[in-house]
Structure 1
Amino acid sequence: MNTPPHQSNLSVLLKMEAAIDAHDIDALVNCFANDFVGEQPVHPERNVTGAEQVRKNWTGIFAQVPDIQAKLVTHTIAGDIGWSEWHWQGNQTNGTAFNLRGAVVTGLRENTIAWARLYMEPVQI
């Protein structure tokens, strides 16, 4: 029996969450299409292109926040579009807290994230 497309699209978000929690860079990069395009509309200087740029960015995050954990707070999938709310937190190597929350809109293709618009911001405490 085949998995309905919306369930397989959801599985890539769950795989991403598990890969971040495990600090498994290869599993995380495998969640993204090779031609991935990531936009941060509020911070366009942070835009990324390609799965290898995802690897470079997340390798840096794992190094700076060695205990980072991700929580997929809520999500919905409609066809090949996903809307998700995330909470990423941990402690940076400089001793300061890393605590981001926000929404991510994703375009999903063949069990990968083809594009994303991230609206992640630091939690103000």
Structure 2
Amino acid sequence: MSKPQAEGIVHIDDVRFKVTEWRFAPGAETGWHVHGHDYVVVPLTDGTLGLDNAGGTAQTAALTQGVPYSRREGVNHNVTNAGTAPLAFLEIEAVAEASALRRREVLERFMAAWNARDLDALMACMATECAFNAAAGPEAEGHHVSGHDGVRAAYATVFDTFPEAAWTAGTHHVFGDTGLSEWRFTGTDKAGQRVDVHGCDIFRFEGDLIALKDTYRKARSA
């Protein structure tokens, strides 16, 4: 006979945390699941959990209202209310690390696409509503371009201006919705002038894609 299912109510789900309130009638279970993030459990009631673990082992664990505990990602189990009264707890998942990892991977692909001179791969890293601030231009933010087609054309202009170009020594960092890539740019423009400078991009993300690329580049002087 199948057991009743525990009820999961999501209260917060953003790029930093996911907070789910789990409510269990006596005998209710979550079903088998693997935790993809580190998490903290905060019991809202006293109770007894039954834990079916990967590998065929089983155990019980006492919950004390207000006394939290933490676990690492990768836990694989089925959780059951092994007591005779309803129980509930909050499960707080730290998703920021996973989100930052995905966004850092986007920045790595983005730099690789510049070095491959691959416009399609570049735009695959950009959000539908995106913008680009070039390092130089008539405005305080340089030359501002918005819209998917406009940004693609601006990137194509960079390739046209510099038939030979490379972005090396790249390092990438993500802080919430903001990304930072540092690099060394070397290239030769169509007039044969050689460029070798350090620079960086500051990014704004929409989900896992780039909504804004804001470029800053050193300018050499004699």
Alpha-carbon distance between aligned partners in 1 of 2:164 and 2:134, rounded to the nearest angstrom: 24
Given the alignment, which residue of 111, 116, 121 partners 1:27?
Answer: 121
Structure 1 pair 97–40 and aligned structure 2 pair: CA distance change class (3 A): same
Matched position secondary structure for 2:163? coil
Shift of 1:121: 3.4
Structure 1 pair 55–110 and aligned structure 2 pair: CA distance change class (3 A): same
Residue 148 (structure 2) aligns with: 51
Which structure has more helix as a fraction of its residues? 1
Shift of 1:16: 1.1
Which structure has more strand as a fraction of its residues? 2
Structure 1 pair 52–101 and aligned structure 2 pair: CA distance change class (3 A): farther
TM-score where L is the length of structure 2: 0.49
Q: How far does the alpha carbon of each residue in 1:9-49 deviate from its partner, in whole angstroms, 9 at most, with x for none?
A: 00111111111111111111221112112335874250111
Alpha-carbon distance between aligned partners in 2 of 1:8 and 1:118, rounded to the nearest angstrom: 21
Given the alignment, which residue of 168, 172, 185 partners 1:75?
Answer: 172
Alpha-carbon distance between aligned partners in 2 of 1:42 and 1:27, rounded to the nearest angstrom: 24
Root-mean-square deviation (CA), in Å? 2.4
Alpha-carbon distance between aligned partners in 1 of 2:187 and 2:180, rounded to the nearest angstrom: 23
Residue 196 (structure 2) aligns with: 99
Larger radius of gyration: 2
CA contact (8 A) 1:40 1:117 kept: yes
Higher RCO (CA < 8 A, seq sep 6+): 1
Percent of aligned pairs sharing the same letter:
25
Residue 108 (structure 2) aligns with: 14
Alpha-carbon distance between aligned partners in 1 of 2:161 and 2:215, rounded to the nearest angstrom: 20
Aligned length: 125
CA contact (8 A) 2:136 2:143 kept: no
